[in-house]
Amino acid sequence: MAPHANDSDGSATGIAVEQVRESGNTGFTVDSPNVTYTPETMQAKYTYRTTSVGFNNGQYKASPKESKYDFKTERKVGKVGVMLVGWGGNNGSTVTAGIIANRRKLEWETKEGPRAANYYGSVVMSSTLKLGEDTTTGKDVNIPLHSLLPMVHPNDLVIGGWDISKMDIASAMDRAQVLEPTLKSLVRKEMAQMVPLPSIYYPDFIAANQEDRADNVVEGSKASDKHVEHLRKDIRDFKSANGLDKVIVLWTANTERFADIVPGVNDTADNLLQAISNGHEEVAPSTVFAVACILENTPFINGSPQNTFVPGCIQLAEKHSAFIGGDDFKSGQTKMKSALVDFMINAGIKLTSISSYNHLGNNDGKNLSSQKQFRSKEISKSNVVDDMVAANNVLYKEGEHPDHCVVIKYMPAVGDNKRALDEYYAEIFLGGHQTISMFNVCEDSLLASPLIIDLVLIAELFTRIQWRKDGEQDWKSFHSVLSVLSYMLKAPLTPPGTPVVNALAKQRSALINIMKACVGLEPENDMTLEHKLF
């Protein structure tokens, strides 16, 4: 199997696909009058039950509420491509090698013995959910998450993208120093033929220490209509050259500094488009990519912590009914924090201080050694406990919040093996204290790469799901801001005016239960009354 070579017109390279899984077979059917199947779609009637709460005469009044919805999911997945911004970085080269290794079912030797390709770390590919109980034994029946609805298999993704470095992806893989030499030797020939497209480069938005990489850039150092049209053409060419039904674009490039929100510049859709035309200095490269994708109706996901989705960008996405999602991959330290803080506060333990220290030696760490870029990361890491604290008014009075400090240092010697040290200091019964110290060593790109896969697979799935209220005729898509991606992201983007959820268990539950609603199944339920009421 040979990869697509670079076309003479400079179109993006990609990984060839031998077979596209289009059967729509999920491995089970739902036997219910509320669920119907056709060769093209599956439709489900679903009753959504919530509780409305009012406050009157000094007490709360809770009222059960029901809303009826129809969900329709296209069963045909089609041929899907993913274009990575920063394809030649640690994450881009690692996820490319991983997909090739899985597609070819590769095995290789390590100092610890033989290893085989897998998708460990992907919630879609390597986690399960409870489908129900076995009618004979009464035991739980668990199925892989990816079999709940028809989803693209990552082995079938066609990969391409952009980078400010013209280094081929095999050489970029060597530069990243992430993978075992024996594995690299097995995928090198294929990846050496993959060369990223030139990217846009605005030096003011990333650290000056990245300048030596910038040898593959589109002319111009500020936003412009020309840049937007250039990127739109790249997407169209990639889609056409590879015979794709749809493309997902994901930013896995350097962390940018925060863009200032300036009235009249990036506060509305029209102002943002005009600011791009005017070459305004507060329009970031990632925002230009997002605008190009929105205008092409191509989902765009931001895997870095900067404020790519300024208000005008979100408004533009809503105007064009285009999907966007972000921000910042949630892989190691922050994922542990969002799980541990949720556990402690739910256990009635009052966290009063959280201190997080990181050091890493990859290019992400080098870029973050610049204060403006570090500030973007600091913000995304610092806000991950807010909703959990706000949910417990017994432990925390209004305005009260744990002290929270985040430090990141660049240490080249440790490479991609990031060190994360955390201390959680809490108040317990009768003025006592508990301290939990955690030391987390994580191979950064090997945790982040499966998240890229999850984000692409879930975003693609939601391009095929529509809904309507019971009794309505017209079908609608989900909101442009794909908050269902929150489980994979440190600073989840939500529709304007809606709450942000950072608690890890709630994020996963929301994703699974929405997917279950699309096949007419009830939400995850751990009551197990059948085993408690005799």
Active-site residue, from 234, 418, 422, 454: 418
Structure confidence by residue, pLDDT tens digits, 470-528: 999 999 999 999 999 999 998 899 999 999 898 899 999 999 999 999 999 999 888 88
Task: Give the other-Cβ count within 10 Å of 385's Cβ.
Answer: 24
Is the pLDDT reported for residue 292 higher than 90? Answer: yes
If phi > 0 it is left, if psi is from -120 to 50 it is alpha, else beta; for residue 328 that is left
> Which CA distances in Å does 327 have to 250, 450, 522?
11, 16, 30
- Please state, in angstroms and rounded to a whole number, the distance separating the CA atoms of residues 272 and 284: 11
> pLDDT at position 4, please?
37
1 or 114, greater pLDDT: 114
pLDDT band at 47 (very low <50, low <70, confident <90, very high): very high
* H-helix or E-strand spanning residue 425: strand 417-427
Active-site residue, from 79, 330, 335, 377: 377
Strand partners, 50: 65
pLDDT band at 380 (very low <50, low <70, confident <90, very high): low
Structure confidence by residue, pLDDT tens digits, 133-189: 898 998 899 999 999 999 999 999 999 999 999 999 999 999 999 999 999 999 999
pTM over 0.85: yes
- Within 25-149, residue ranges assigned H as helices are 90-103, 123-126
List, in order of start, the domains of the chain with CATH numbers: 333-443 (3.30.360.10)
> Any idea which of 68-77, 397-406, 457-466 has the lowest mean pLDDT?
397-406
Considering only CA atoms, which of 182, 117, 191, 109 is closest in space to residue 154? 117
By CB neighbour count within 10 A (0-12 exposed, 13-18 middle, 19+ buried), where does 185 fall? exposed
What is the torsional sign of CA 177, 180, 181, 186?
negative
Tell me if residue 418 is catalytic.
Answer: yes
CA Rg value for the chain: 24
Is the pLDDT reported for residue 9 higher than 50? Answer: no
Structure confidence by residue, pLDDT tens digits, 84-97: 999 999 999 999 99
Is the pLDDT reported for residue 11 higher than 60? Answer: no
pLDDT band at 81 (very low <50, low <70, confident <90, very high): very high
Number of helices and strands in the chain (H, E) = 14, 19
| Structure tokens that stand for 368 in this block | 């973050």
- Please state, in angstroms and rounded to a whole number, the distance separating the CA atoms of residues 373 and 377: 7
The DSSP call for residue 329 is B
pLDDT band at 98 (very low <50, low <70, confident <90, very high): very high
- Please state, in angstroms and rounded to a whole number, the distance separating the CA atoms of residues 33 and 258: 51
Considering only CA atoms, which of 388, 408, 377, 393 is closest in space to residue 505? 388
Contact assessment for residue 244 and residue 238, using Cβ atoms and an 8 Å cutoff: yes
Contact assessment for residue 351 and residue 402, using Cβ atoms and an 8 Å cutoff: yes
Residue 506, amino acid:
K
Strand partners, 419: 359, 441
Considering only CA atoms, which of 525, 509, 516, 531 is closest in space to residue 32? 516
- Please state, in angstroms and rounded to a whole number, the distance separating the CA atoms of residues 85 and 197: 9
> pLDDT at position 25, please?
52
> pLDDT at position 418, please?
82
The DSSP call for residue 186 is H
> pLDDT at position 224, please?
97
* H-helix or E-strand spanning residue 436: strand 433-443
Provide the strand spans (E) within 264-416: 300-302, 324-326, 350-360, 403-410
Q: Name, in order, each residue with C-beta under 8 angstroms of 16's C-beta and a sequence gap of 6 or more.
A: 1, 2, 3, 4, 158
Contact assessment for residue 421 and residue 361, using Cβ atoms and an 8 Å cutoff: no
Strand partners, 325: 301
Tell me if residue 328 is catalytic.
Answer: yes
The fraction of the chain above a pLDDT of 90, given in percent, is: 73
Considering only CA atoms, which of 358, 389, 386 is closest in space to residue 374? 358
Is the pLDDT reported for residue 253 higher than 90? Answer: yes
| CA count, 13 A, side-chain hemisphere, 520 | 16
Average pLDDT value for the chain: 90
Provide the strand spans (E) within 459-524: 465-469, 476-477
Active-site residue, from 156, 163, 328, 444: 328
> pLDDT at position 335, please?
86
> Which CA distances in Å does 385 have to 283, 343, 490?
29, 11, 10
Active-site residue, from 222, 246, 490, 516: 490
Structure confidence by residue, pLDDT tens digits, 212-226: 889 999 999 999 999
179 or 25, greater pLDDT: 179
Chain length of the chain: 534
Tell me if residue 377 is catalytic.
Answer: yes
- Please state, in angstroms and rounded to a whole number, the distance separating the CA atoms of residues 213 and 221: 15
> pLDDT at position 431, please?
93
Average pLDDT over residues 256-274: 95
> pLDDT at position 369, please?
65
> pLDDT at position 16, please?
37
